[in-house]
Structure 1
Amino acid sequence: MTALRMRNAKFGLGDVVRHRIYPFRGIVFDVDPVFDNTEDWWLAIPEDVRPRKDQPFYHLLAENAESEYVAYVSEQNLVPDTSGEALRHAGIADVFEQDSSGAYRVRDRHPN
């Protein structure tokens, strides 16, 4: 097995991002410093577009025109979403709140 070199993540929790190829966007709710999914998942990606494993991978509350879902995306395939369009994913309110500037921050999870 080859050693993987870890890099600092370009995006953080609450960042709104867009996929650079496919028409979806979402909000980052978790970050893996390197690939941490199944080998079957990785091999299911066509080889000509398969991402490297030695980069951050992001868990997104994602949405496209038709649906809302959770996505797992490599850093190389994400760009900042600067559209300012509201996100509609139903899971956002469970994890994030928006501050007065419109930025998302993780909800405080302290019990009442």
Structure 2
Amino acid sequence: MTKTRFARYNIGQVIRHRLYAMRGVIFDVDESFAGTDGEPVPDGSATGLIYRLFAEDGEIPYVACIAERDLEPDDSGEPVSHPGIGAMFEVEETGGYRRRRQALN
């Protein structure tokens, strides 16, 4: 029997890395991550989920896969500048991100 895990953060939520100057918008959550050789990598040393996000670090936008334990909410209210956001999310009046009902191609 597998243990049910509950995500601490939500799709569309803006988060930041606990240690590094990186922030982003979550677009996927998973229990494992396929590393560069295609083999699954343990889910953050068996302590949490892996979040995929449209990220920025002040230099370039990129997609990041980060363990839940390394993330915290970003309450700055600043928008995230990543070209992938518009295809998957609509920006709400409050500045939050809501998943589009239909993806843009």
| TM bucket, shorter chain | 0.7 to 0.9
Match of 1:58 among 34, 51, 54: 51
The CA RMSD measured in Å over matched residues stands at: 2.6
| Higher-strand-fraction structure | 2
Counterpart in the other structure of 2:17: 19
C-alpha separation in 2, matches of 1:54 and 1:5? 12
Q: Assess, with a 3 A threshold, how the Cα gap between structure 1 residues 110 and 75 changes in structure 2: closer, same or farther.
A: closer
Q: Secondary structure at the match of 2:33?
A: coil
With structure 2 as the length reference, what TM-score do the two structures score? Answer: 0.82
Higher helix share: 1
Aligned positions, number: 102
| Structure 2 unaligned regions, length at least 5 | none
Counting aligned pairs with the same residue, the percent is 39
Change (3 A) 1:29 1:110: closer
Partner of residue 69, structure 2:
76
Could you tell me the TM-score, scaled by structure 1's length? Answer: 0.78
Q: Which structure has the larger Rg over C-alpha atoms?
A: 1
